[in-house]
Amino acid sequence: MKALILASGTAQRLRPLTDNQPKCLVKINGESILERLLEQFTRAGIGAVVITTGPFEEQVLEAVAPFRAALDITTVKNEIYDKTNYIYSIYKAREELKDDILLVHGDLVFADRVLTKLLQSKHKNSVIVKKDFRPPKDFKARIKDNRVLEISTKISGPETHFLAPLYRFAAADFQLWSAGIDDYIKRQEVHCYAENALNELLPAAVELNPVYIGEEICLEIDDFADLEECRALLDLS
């Protein structure tokens, strides 16, 4: 299994913290988000990691250097990071993504227990979900019969639940998603979420199953409110 960390965004909502560093290197209680992810993957026995980069790539390369003894780390730069969404970053990294894939956004902070649950899932493809929690700005999953039918930030209703962008995909099914992403890029649809391409495959071509969590820490750091909430939660853990 190979982990894919998407860390190519501009993080406008965390300025000025991100004026001179990428969001993945923002420190939370003394440790950057990226360092935390790499330590978790090392403990979980994941040997290879691909990191997509955007601004301040040199800082990312410096930050990952101490982890190269334990992890096979590849970086792929999205040269037009300020003109595209991460759908284009995945496209750029596609030649490195032929294995079973653990995909995570580079601003996601989660407890070890969350990763353990995902890796222990009996399903071929799985994603982390928190039931009956519908934060307005975050991804939600529409779920029926224990299958994810749709992923979007804009859906609502009792059948929708918070989806953390922490996925595990079998190689063949990730290749289907990758092929869908290729089609979007060919049409110059580079500003949307990669999940738009995935939605066209769910649930008929690709079955994606939720892995439910409870009160474990799991949140994206989009803005300063998220940052302060995460710091407080980690202080209590």
**Over the chain (237 residues), what is each successive 10-residue block's mean pLDDT?**
96 90 93 97 97 96 96 97 97 97 97 97 97 93 97 95 98 98 98 98 97 95 93 80
d(CA 157, CA 124) in angstroms, rounded, equals: 27
Whether the bond between 66 and the residue before it is cis, its omega within 30 degrees of 0, is no
Domains in the chain, start-ordered, CATH in brackets? 2-236 (3.90.550.10)
Instruction: Please tell me what DSSP assigns to residue 56.
Output: B
Q: Which two tokens stand for residue 11?
A: 């993080």
Cα distances (angstroms) measured from residue 14 to each of 19, 107, 153, 200: 9, 11, 20, 32
> What pLDDT score was predicted for residue 236?
65
Dihedral over Cα of 14, 184, 139, 231: its sign? negative
> What pLDDT score was predicted for residue 237?
59
> What pLDDT score was predicted for residue 98?
97
199 CB neighbour count, 10 Å cutoff: 16
> What pLDDT score was predicted for residue 78?
97
> What pLDDT score was predicted for residue 17?
86
How many Å separate Cα 52 from the centre of its chain? 11
> What pLDDT score was predicted for residue 1?
95
> What pLDDT score was predicted for residue 69?
95
Cα distances (angstroms) measured from residue 187 to each of 80, 82, 88, 157: 16, 19, 12, 31
